Amino acid sequence: MRLKKYNQFLSLTMDFLDFHHHQLSKTGIYNLNLNEEIPAGKFSAGLHPKDITENWKSDFEKIKTVSLSEKCLAIGECGLDGIINIDENLQNEIFKAHIHWAEEIQKPIIIHCVRRFSQILHYKTAKVPLVIHGFNKKENIAQELLDAGFHLSFGRATLENLSLQKIIKNFPIQRIFLETDDADFEIIKLYEKVAEIKSITLENLRDQMLENLYNIVRNG
């Protein structure tokens, strides 16, 4: 019954939500590429730090346009990356632009963060739900993000990383999402592992992930 309720609200037709992925052949939330046409299914739209150019303002206008679609469930992925050769002040300016737009249209944000978690925490006052995608860091960082109100999305590394499994075991299930990102594996494998870690049934985990999405979209 819960599955039917959430799928109807979100216009989804799936059992196991893949919160963030890059393959059109998959169901879930597809990460739309810049200048790509709106897909048939649900998607998110944002300017990844690696795609920032001198034309970012016009690129961002395109993102704002496509993100108005009912099929767009979230803004992103966007955020801060400490490895790429893009000016950090510019990255922060563009990330703030995403937050302001997300607040205006009331949609959650999917965040890309590499070696910049202390800076990301400064944005905890955003008035929309914030989800760190592909979380693969230490327990103390997870706790700081939890205390600041963030959600965490976990990917393939969870299948083998014992430290991540410990984090998931202790992390509130209402603040978790599961994703394949750009990895080539079936999302059901991740659900099976997390259900085992959390000592719950696969069905209950499936319903909880859809409920979590329902909550951040409804409360965007």
157-213: per-residue pLDDT in tens?
999 999 999 999 999 999 999 999 999 999 999 999 999 999 999 999 999 999 999
pLDDT for position 15: 77
Angle at 190 (CA atoms; ends 188, 192), nearest 5 degrees: 70
| Highest CATH level, class, for 2-218 | alpha beta
Which region holds residue 216: left if phi is over 0, alpha if psi is between -120 and 50, else beta?
alpha
Residue type, 53: T
| pLDDT tens profile 51-85 | 999 999 999 999 999 999 999 999 999 999 999 99
Q: What is the mean pLDDT of residues 116-142?
A: 97
Give, as one character, the DSSP assignment of residue 121. Answer: G
Report whether pLDDT(214) > 90.
yes
Cβ–Cβ under 8 Å, residues 211 and 176 = no
Neighbours of 160 (CB within 10 A): 9
Max Cα separation, the chain?
Answer: 49
Contacts of 157 by beta carbon, 8 Å cutoff, 6+ apart: 136, 164
